[in-house]
Chains A and B, each alone.
Chain A
Amino acid sequence: MDPNSLIPSPDTIPAPSWVFILLEQLLFLLHIIVINAALGGAIITLVKRFKMKDEEYTALYKPAAVKLPILIALGINFAIPPLLFLQVVFGNLFYSSSVLMAVYWIMIIPLLVIAYYGFYIHSAKLTSSPRFSKAAIACSILIMLYIGLMLVTNNSLMVQPEKWSAYFENRGGTILNFSDPAIFPRYLHFITASIAVGSLFFAFIYKFKKHENSEVLIKNSLKIFAIATSFQVLVGTWYLLAIPSEFIPNFMGKDIVSSLVLLIGFLFGIISIIVAFKGNFNLTIITLFITMVAMITTRHNLRMMYLEDNFTLNQLILVPQYGVLALFLFVLLLGLVAIGYMLKIGFPKTNGEAV
Chain B
Amino acid sequence: MNYPIWELYELTSGTLVAIISVFHAFIAHLAVGGGLFLWLTDLKSTKENNLELTQYVRKHTKFFLLLTMVAGGVTGVGIWFIIALANPAATSSLIHNFVFGWAIEWVFFIGEIVALLIYHYRFDVMKQKQRLNVAFLYFLFAWLSMVVINGILAYMLTPGKWLETGEFWDGFFNPTYFPSLLFRSAAAAMIAGMFGYVTVVFSLKSKFRSKMLKYCTKWLLYPVPFIIIGGIWYLYSIPETLRITNFTMNSQASSVILIFIVSSILIFVFGLFINLKIKPVYQKILIFVILIIGQAWYGGFEYLREYARKPFIITDHMYSTSILLKDADLLNKEGVLKHAKWTPIKEVTNDNIREAGRELFNIQCLCCHTIDGVKNDILKKTKNLTYMGMLSHLEGQGRILKYMPPVFGTVKEKEALAEFIIGDLHKRKIERVPEKFTHLKKLNHEVPAFDKKNDDYVLFVWNDLGMSCTFDSDPWWVILPPKNTFEATLIKRGETPEIITEGVELTYKVEKGFEEPVNRDPQFWEYSKSNYGKELEKNIGLTGNGMSGKFTYNEDKVVFIASAIPITPYPDDMPYNPYALFDIEAKDMETGKLLMKTKVVAPNSTEAGCKNCHAGGWRYEGVSGISDQTAINVLHAHDRISGTNLYEEAKDGKPQNCKACHLHPDLENKDPNQTLDLAAAMHGWHSNYMPFENENACRLCHPDSPDGSTKCSRSIHDVLGMTCVDCHGHINDHAISVLKGQSYKTASKKYLDIIKPVRFSSQDEIDPRIPWENEPECLSCHEDYEKPEKGFTSFNKWSPNKPEIFRYRTDDAGIRCVLCHNAPHAEFPARNIWGVNRDNIQPVQYQGNPLPIGSEQSCYVCHKKSMEDPIHHENMMRKFRNAELVKKEGLM
Contacts and interface: CB of A to CB of B under 8 A. Distances in A.
B109 A77 contact: yes
A113 B4 contact: no
A37 to B, nearest CB: 16
A268 interface: no
Contacts of B93: 11
Contact of B100 (A11, A100, A325): A325
A95 B137 CA distance: 35
Interface string A8-51: 11111110000010010000000000000000000000000000
Contacts of B231: none
B102 A98 contact: no
A85 B88 CA distance: 15
Interface in B126-156: 126-127, 130, 133-134, 137, 141
A256 B129 CA distance: 57
A31 to B, nearest CB: 12
B74 A116 contact: yes
Given A8-B3, A328-B100, A342 B134 contact: yes
Contacts of A79: 77
Interface in B1-36: 2-8, 13, 16, 20
Interface of A: 1, 5-14, 20, 23, 70, 73-74, 76-81, 84-85, 87-88, 91-92, 95-96, 98-100, 102, 105-106, 108-110, 112-113, 116-117, 120, 164, 167-168, 171-173, 319, 321, 323-325, 327-328, 331-332, 334-335, 338-339, 342-343, 345-348, 351, 355
A10 B121 CA distance: 44
B342 A95 contact: no
B262 interface: no
Contacts of B168: 14, 321, 323-324
B107 A348 contact: no
B96 interface: yes
B529 to A, nearest CB: 57
Contacts of A112: 74, 77
Contacts of B771: none
Nearest to B69: A73
A109 B74 contact: yes
A79 B3 CA distance: 24
Interface of B: 2-8, 13, 16, 20, 66, 69-71, 73-75, 77-78, 81-82, 84-85, 88-89, 91-93, 95-97, 99-104, 106-111, 113-115, 117-118, 121-122, 125-127, 130, 133-134, 137, 141, 166, 168-169, 341-342, 344, 362
Chain A contact residues: helix, strand, loop or mixed: helix
A10 B341 CA distance: 13
Contacts of B110: 77-78, 335, 339
A325 B168 CA distance: 11
Chain B CB within 10 A, most for which of A11, A120, A319: A11
Contacts of B115: 338, 342
Given A117-B70, A335-B110, A347 B122 contact: yes
Contacts of A117: 66, 70
A173 B12 CA distance: 12
Chain B contact residues: helix, strand, loop or mixed: helix
A123 B99 CA distance: 36
Contact of B118 (A8, A78, A164, A342): A342
A109 B77 contact: yes
B399 to A, nearest CB: 29
Contacts, number: 193
Given A91-B92, A332-B107, A345 B130 contact: yes
A33 to B, nearest CB: 15
A43 to B, nearest CB: 21
A268 B217 CA distance: 61
B73 A73 contact: yes
B109 A87 contact: no
Given A88-B99, A96-B3, 20 more contacts: A8-B88, A87-B91, A88-B95, A91-B95, A91-B96, A98-B88, A100-B4, A106-B81, A109-B74, A109-B78, A117-B66, A164-B4, A171-B4, A171-B7, A321-B100, A323-B168, A332-B103, A338-B111, A346-B121, A346-B122
A242 B618 CA distance: 68
B85 A168 contact: no
B96 A80 contact: no
Contacts of B106: 77, 80-81, 84
Given A14-B99, A84-B95, A328-B100, A108 B81 contact: yes
A79 B78 CA distance: 13
Given A70-B117, A76-B74, A109-B77, A98 B111 contact: no
Contacts of B75: 109, 113
Given A95-B91, A99-B88, A171-B4, A342 B99 contact: no
Contacts of B85: 98-99, 102, 105-106, 173
A112 B77 CA distance: 10
Nearest to B103: A328
B7 A172 contact: yes
Contacts of B362: 171
Contacts of A355: 121
Given A77-B109, A346-B125, A14 B100 contact: yes
Contacts of B5: 99, 171
Contact of B96 (A88, A105, A171): A88
Contacts of A343: 114, 118
A173 B6 contact: yes
A26 to B, nearest CB: 12
A333 to B, nearest CB: 9
A120 B70 contact: yes
B389 to A, nearest CB: 28
A173 B110 CA distance: 32
B22 to A, nearest CB: 14
Contacts of A105: 81, 85
B91 A81 contact: no
A327 B70 contact: no
A172 B134 CA distance: 47
A113 B95 contact: no
Contacts of A100: 4
Q: Which 3 residue pairs across A and B have the least CB separation, nearest first?
A: A95-B88, A109-B78, A346-B118
A97 to B, nearest CB: 9
A74 B448 CA distance: 102
30 contacts: A6-B341, A8-B89, A14-B99, A73-B117, A77-B109, A80-B109, A87-B95, A88-B99, A92-B92, A95-B84, A99-B5, A99-B85, A99-B88, A109-B78, A112-B74, A117-B70, A120-B66, A172-B7, A172-B8, A321-B168, A324-B100, A324-B101, A328-B100, A334-B107, A335-B108, A335-B111, A338-B111, A345-B127, A346-B125, A346-B134
Contacts of B73: 73, 76-77
Contacts of A351: 125
Nearest to A323: B168
Contacts of A84: 95, 99, 102-103, 106
Nearest to A67: B121
A228 B484 CA distance: 98
Nearest to B358: A171
A255 B380 CA distance: 60
Chain B CB within 10 A, most for which of A6, A78, A102, A105: A102
A109 B99 contact: no
Contacts of A6: 4, 341-342
Contacts of B101: 324
A171 B166 CA distance: 34
Contacts of A70: 117, 121
Given A106-B81, A120-B66, A346-B125, A327 B104 contact: yes
Contacts of B71: 113
A338 B139 CA distance: 13
B387 to A, nearest CB: 25
Contacts of B3: 8, 92, 95-96, 99
B6 A73 contact: no
A80 B108 CA distance: 12
Nearest to B70: A116
